[in-house]
Chains A and B, each alone.
Chain A
């Protein structure tokens, strides 16, 4: 016989706010590792067509001969895909919670400690998600052709040509540069926030360090990405 009518309170760890935050932090760190590797690969554009296309081919033959062609790459793609789903799921769940947690807003509210980066986490994240979809359609699936990139070369034949021809279109470069500002802000707050969520910043000095590391990594990643389209646009890479 049921003796309680109240909803049963959670007793374990799964599903709690801190659990969701941990999910966001772990998947976020997977993204950080990914963008670092991705940025490093992009910089090969500066070493010419051969170098960049070799890298692109190298990704597809990663893990051979133990794994089939495209094997390791597919595994990495699955990990990233699952991470994106979990990251967005927990972001939305916590976003909703935050709205319920303050049903009546203040008439006057001053933010004294929040950084610009931290204020943009949610809408900046939404923008990054849209950007990632666009980016994949353009360069991975080659469904959108900007400039003469797609006609000159399908991604499997000549990725270098594809990139260079695409970024000669100024507005495309602008979209990418704006996305890198968004990425900078997301990482600047995100890396520090993830360190805090994972419990690595339990002393004041660790906090200062985590914030510094977040800033440096965010700068390196966003600038490292941004210089490729930028230098294509101004004609240094052609």
Chain B
């Protein structure tokens, strides 16, 4: 199939950027979206032009590195990551606009690459449990009920891709934080730091410049791991109940 790509090009954080149009032909519907961009880049290199910079790592939907706004939808029209999106989701003659995640807390590095280390700092602020390293304890020594284990597991599937922030009209990271707070809050090991965790994470979130949630629901609709909106309620609940911040 033949497509028209409109891609955001920007040399560096402080340069002006613009959408640049690239026609591309003979795209196979079995290609992944990123493979299609690889083909475009090969062509650009052959033509002596600067290839389009974009992020990816695992290309199997588990690392959360790939991050593209495709025709106004984070990770494109399917519920999956950009690397797992295939060209069969598009048709011959389509025009595809590709933009980077847009958020104050995700500063642009180059073209389609943004810096998502604000997520790392939110996790460092409280999204962990403190345990002694060394021999792993016997897995069954602390019982966990089946529903709690299931919910913890489901919310632990967040890959930190940032699609929730990209899709949110307020650029809020509540779904990302809610996933972590719910994951650790369902488990016995998460209890000692539960109060402090939620307060520290939210304060870091605010300091990084993310917006406040208005419960619109764009985040959950964009999430490739289908993290549900109820984790945001869980986060708010834990925050309201939290007594001490350390």
Contact = CB atoms under 8 A, between A and B. Distances in A.
Contacts of A21: 212-213, 236
Given A94-B214, A98-B212, A114-B169, A196 B221 contact: no
Interface residues of A, number: 46
B233 A12 contact: no
B204 A12 contact: no
5 contacts: A17-B210, A98-B214, A102-B103, A110-B71, A189-B215
Given A101-B211, A106-B72, A106-B99, 12 more contacts: A9-B203, A18-B212, A18-B235, A22-B240, A97-B212, A98-B170, A101-B105, A106-B69, A107-B6, A108-B72, A110-B73, A114-B169
Contacts of B209: 100-101
Interface in A145-194: 189, 192-193
A16 interface: yes
Max chain A C-beta neighbours (<10 A), residue from B212, B217, B234, B240: B212
A204 interface: yes
B88 interface: no
Contacts of A207: 229-230, 233
A199 B202 contact: no
Interface of A: 9-13, 16-18, 20-22, 94, 97-98, 100-114, 118, 121, 189, 192-193, 195-204, 206-207
Interface in B44-100: 69, 71-73, 97, 99
Contact of A17 (B6, B73, B211): B211
Max chain A C-beta neighbours (<10 A), residue from B209, B215, B238, B240: B215
A101 B236 contact: no
B97 A107 contact: yes
Nearest to B217: A113
A8 B236 CA distance: 24
B233 A196 contact: yes
B205 interface: yes
Given A108-B71, A197-B215, A101 B230 contact: no
B149 interface: no
Contacts of A195: 233
B230 A118 contact: no
A20 B238 CA distance: 15
Interface of B: 6, 19, 69, 71-73, 97, 99, 102-105, 108, 169-172, 199, 202-207, 209-218, 220-222, 228-242, 245-246
Contacts of A193: 214-215
Contacts of A196: 215, 229, 232-233, 236
A112 B236 CA distance: 24
A103 to B, nearest CB: 6
A107 B19 contact: yes
A193 B229 CA distance: 11
Given A97-B170, A202-B237, A118 B216 contact: yes
A221 B116 CA distance: 44
A9 B220 contact: no
Contact of B236 (A12, A97, A110, A198): A198
Max chain A C-beta neighbours (<10 A), residue from B73, B214, B228, B229: B214
B214 A121 contact: yes
A83 B222 CA distance: 35
A189 B220 CA distance: 17
B202 A101 contact: no
B214 A200 contact: no
Contact of A101 (B19, B73, B170, B240): B170
A120 to B, nearest CB: 12
B127 to A, nearest CB: 16
B203 A103 contact: no
A8 B232 CA distance: 26
Nearest to B71: A108
Given A16-B206, A201-B233, A101 B228 contact: no
